[in-house]
Amino acid sequence: MVGPSSSHTAGAVRLGSLARGIAGGDVRAATVTLHGSFAATGRGHGTDVALVAGLLGYAPDDARIPQSFAHARQAGMQVTFAEADLGDVHPNTARIEVETTTGTTVLVQGSSVGAGDVEITLIDDFPVRLTGELPAIGVVHHDQPGVVAAVSARLAAGVINIASMQVFRERRGARALMVIETDEPVGDEVAAGIGALPGIITVRAVPAV
């Protein structure tokens, strides 16, 4: 890892990388709100630099991390930072609102929980738990019978094993979100096949970080 801190630097890189993966493309702009210890000591530990590095797609051991602000400017990426009390959450928490170069927007909230480990706890309006240790796929869909089974069957047909699955919904019959961790990355062909299923709104494959 590039230091100085596993939680404030390496973990922050992974949070940025996961936000980029969940958004599903290159980042055009991001607004990052820092909470707790991230807000109080993040600048000294390079948290801001690390989050931008993650949004650029860098790994925690990438030697370019200290220059991430300059690299973001060169890439045309605009990142703004704010500080706020996000409530009863881990002290090392960031809320990241991302806009991709294709116009997709997503809100991701997550925490660096120590030793470089992270946990995504919110994607848009959905509470989740995603660690980034395994590849994953996020499927937004209409809450209707048969969708979960159809997505599972399409993954099985692609010889992709499900490690864990979480399903959240706004309310009965409204939008829902499947977060599926897999043993193997979900390729473009399988993701496109899932996207073509009845009831599916969006599909995003999220690489492990």
170-190 pLDDT per residue, tens: 999 999 999 999 999 999 999
**Angstrom distance (rounded) from CA 89 to CA 111:** 8
CATH code, domain with 28: 3.30.1330.90
Q: What is the CATH number of the domain that holds 147?
A: 3.30.70.260
The residue-averaged pLDDT of 22-42 equals: 92
The confidence band for 1, taking pLDDT boundaries of 50, 70 and 90, is: very low
Please, what is the average pLDDT of the chain? 92
Clarify whether residues 113 and 20 are in a common domain.
Answer: yes
Residue 196 CB contacts under 8 Å (≥ 6 apart), including other chains:
none
SS3 breakdown of the chain: % helix, strand, coil, rounded to 5?
A: 30, 35, 30
- 88 and 168 together in one domain: no
pTM: 0.89
17 and 92 share a domain? Answer: yes
Percent of the chain with pLDDT over 90: 85
Same domain, 100 and 174: no
**Residue of 32, 164, 191 whose CA lies nearest to 107:** 32
pLDDT at 114 over 90: no
Same domain, 13 and 87: yes
| Residue-range definition of the domain harbouring residue 55 | 6-124
